Amino acid sequence: MKWLVNMLTSTIGRKLVMALTGLFLILFLTVHLTGNLQLIKDDGGKAFNIYAEFMTTFPLIKIVSIGNFFFILLHIYTSVLLTQRNRNARPVQYAYTTGQATNSSWASRNMGILGTIILVFLIVHLKGYWYEMHFGAIPTQNYDGKEVKDLYAVVKASYTQIWYVAFYVISMAFVGFHLVHGFSSAFQTLGLNHPKYTPLIKGLGYGFAVLVPIGFAIIPIVMFLKG
């Protein structure tokens, strides 16, 4: 057991934790987007509300949800520890901070800032929907004799405000930049480097980092336009 603790608290162990929790969150985002796209169906929110009800009450999903929050916190905590260790190991900052040329990407140098912006988004996001669904007094809808919370109405009402839509769309751009570097970095840490497959993985990472945030951003825009 001690070897596991030693391994996970070493620099490479912490990078591994970042990669694995990051890949789990990437998986979560894919499922989350697929479910959320039901918000733009023309059915008055029925499919989305039934889906949201299932996601908050089905026991197995409840466990996954706890795991999800745990992985988010672990991802953030480990990133702070790694940043501190990097700073301590190299008190003199790299030349890029003084504006000199560099061959690393902007996203890779600013993962901490991007992550912090996404954290602010997450706090606002969870307060607006997750908290309301679990603890708020929200209206209900009756579908085939079953009373279901109308989370669709909560989301719809929030996207009647242009500033809220703008906040979501801009936040999705930051999510995209974070994913561009995060995806390939995770695969690099896991040692999945191969002359034939690395370009494919990079391509997939870019595709994911562009398409998933666009998919999310479409939701507030469409709901706002439909009114």
Separation of alpha carbons 207 and 224, rounded Å: 26
Q: Least separation, in Å, of the C-beta of 85 and ligand HEM?
A: 25
- Which of 68, 78, 185, 189 touches ligand HEM (CB under 6 A)? 68
The distance of closest approach from Cβ of residue 193 to ligand HEM in the complex, given in angstroms and rounded to an integer, is: 27
Using an 8 Å Cβ cutoff, are 208 and 26 in contact? yes
Question: CA angle, 113 as apex, 109 and 118 as ends, to 5°?
Answer: 125
State the nearest-atom distance from the C-beta of 13 to ligand HEM, in Å. Answer: 25
**Residue 219 binding ligand HEM, by CB under 6 A:** yes
Return the CA Rg of the chain. 20
13 vs 221, beta carbon nearer ligand HEM:
221
What sign has the CA pseudo-torsion 103, 17, 175, 26? positive
End-to-end CA distance of the chain: 56
Q: Which residues inside 152-191 make contact with ligand HEM, applying CB under 6 A? A: 155, 168, 175
Binding status of residue 79 toward ligand HEM by CB under 6 A: no
| Region class of 161: left (phi > 0), else alpha (psi between -120 and 50), else beta | beta
Subset of residues 22 to 51 that bind ligand HEM, contact rule: CB under 6 A: 32, 36, 39
Binding site for ligand HEM (CB under 6 A): 32, 36, 39, 52, 55-56, 65, 68, 118, 122, 125-126, 129-130, 133, 151, 155, 168, 175, 216, 219-220
